[in-house]
C-alpha cells in the first residue's frame, strides 16, 4: 500500500509488556484487555484535523522485543512523532528506552523539532518503582514532554495523543474533526481541505 502523503505518523516505542498496545487500543478502539499478545508491528489509522483540513493519524505500535532492529530503524525514519512508553512498575523499562532514544536521535539528527512524549504507563498500579519526578527528570534531560497514563482506567490517554499533536509546531492538529465547530463551518472547511489535496 502506498503511503499517503498527508498521513501523520506516530510511532510508539517501549520495552515488552509496558502497555504500548493497550495504550493504542484504548485510544483507537476505547477497549482494554488484560491478556498479553506480543506485537510485531501493528498500524492503526484515525482521522484527525490538521491545518483546518482532514488528515490521517497513523499510529504504529511496535514490538517490545529486540528481534527486529531493521524494522525499528524503518519506523523511526518514517515517523513524524514518537511516544516512548515505560511502566511505572519497572525501573528496567525506563532504562530500556535510553538506546531507543539514542537511535531516534541518530536517525533524525536534530530532535528539537520532533514531538517526543515520554510516558509512564500503568499509573493505576500501586507497586511503583519509578516516581513521577524521576520520569520528569528524564524528560527534561531529553528535552521532551512527559505524562503518566493508565490504559486500564483510561487516564490521560486521549490527552496524551492530543498533547503530542500540540507539540508539533509546524502543523495545527486536533483529534476533533467536528467537535466544537458548527456543522456548516466544518463542511466548508472539509471542502477546502479536499481542494487543497487536489
Partner 1 sequence: MRRTDRRTVPASTYTVQGGRQDCTCVTIRMLQSPTNTTLPTSSNFPASHKVNSDHHHNDMQAYWREVRSIEEEKEGQEEEDEEERHSMDEVEMEEAWLKEAGLFFLVSGITSSEASLPLPEAVISTLTHQQAAIVRTRLDNYNETLRKRNRQPLRDVRDIFAESEDKSAELCPSSSPHSADFPPGRYHITTKTIRRSAHRARPHFVFEDQLTDHPSCSSLKAPQANTNPSSPVLSSPPPACHWRQVDWLLQDTPYSEGVAEHRHSSTCWDCQSFQGDLRGKLQFVPVIPSNGLTCVDDLSPRDLTRLGFISHIELTTFLLALGVQTKRTRPSRTKAQDGAVFGVTLKSLLESDKKKFPGTKIPIVFQKLLSILEQSGLQMEGILRVPASVARLKYLRKELDRNPEVFDWSAVRQVDAAGLLKLFIRELPTPLLTYTHLPTFSSVMGISSELHQVQALQLLTLLLPEVHRETLKALLVFLRKVVSHQDQNRMSLWNVSMVMAPNLFPQCNHGKRHSPAKQREEIEVAVGGAQLIQLMIQYQDLLWTVPNFLLTQVRQLNQASDQKQLSLSRTRMYLLKKKKNQNDGNRITKLCEGVIQVHAPQHTKVSMAIQLEEQTTAKDVTARFEGQNSPPQRLYEVGGNICERRLHPDCPLMEVYKVNPCCDWLIKPGHVSPSTSGELNSHL
Provide the binding-site residues for partner 1, judged by CB under 8 A: 1-3, 28-29, 40-46, 58, 67-68, 70-71, 74
Shortest spacing between CB 77 and partner 1, in angstroms: 11
Shortest spacing between CB 3 and partner 1, in angstroms: 7
User: CA 190, 192, 196, 198: dihedral to nearest 10 degrees?
Assistant: 80
At residue 126, the 3 state secondary structure works out as coil
Q: Which is nearer to partner 1, 65 or 140 (CB)?
A: 65
Q: Which is nearer to partner 1, 67 or 185 (CB)?
A: 67
Q: Which is nearer to partner 1, 2 or 109 (CB)?
A: 2
- What's the CA gap between 6 and 195, in Å, rounded? 13
Cell match 500501586: residue?
126
Shortest spacing between CB 33 and partner 1, in angstroms: 12
Q: Tell me the sheet residues that pair with 81.
A: 10
Q: Which is nearer to partner 1, 72 or 121 (CB)?
A: 72
- What's the CA gap between 53 and 191, in Å, rounded? 8
Amino acid at each position: 500500500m502506498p503511503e499517503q502523503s498527508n498521513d501523520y505518523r506516530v510511532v510508539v516505542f517501549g520495552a515488552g509488556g509496558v502497555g504500548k498496545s493497550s495504550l493504542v487500543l484504548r485510544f483507537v478502539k476505547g477497549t482494554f484487555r488484560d491478556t498479553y499478545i506480543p506485537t510485531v508491528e501493528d498500524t492503526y489509522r484515525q482521522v484527525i484535523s490538521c491545518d483546518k483540513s482532514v488528515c490521517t493519524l497513523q499510529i504504529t505500535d511496535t514490538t517490545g522485543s529486540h528481534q527486529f532492529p531493521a524494522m525499528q530503524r524503518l519506523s523511526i525514519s518514517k515517523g513524524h512523532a514518537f511516544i516512548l512508553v515505560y511502566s511505572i512498575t519497572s525501573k528496567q523499562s525506563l532504562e530500556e528506552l535510553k538506546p531507543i532514544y539514542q537511535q531516534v536521535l541518530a536517525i533524525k539528527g536534530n530532535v528539537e523539532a520532533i514531538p517526543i512524549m515520554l510516558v509512564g504507563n500503568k499509573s493505576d498500579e500501586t507497586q511503583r518503582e519509578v516516581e513521577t519526578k524521576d520520569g520528569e527528570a528524564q524528560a527534561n534531560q531529553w528535552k521532551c514532554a512527559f505524562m503518566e497514563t493508565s490504559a486500564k482506567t483510561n487516564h490521560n490517554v486521549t490527552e496524551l495523543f492530543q498533547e503530542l499533536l500540540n507539540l508539533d509546531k509546524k502543523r495545527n492538529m486536533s483529534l476533533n474533526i467536528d467537535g466544537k465547530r458548527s456543522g456548516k463551518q466544518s463542511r466548508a472547511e472539509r471542502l477546502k481541505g479536499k481542494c487543497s489535496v487536489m
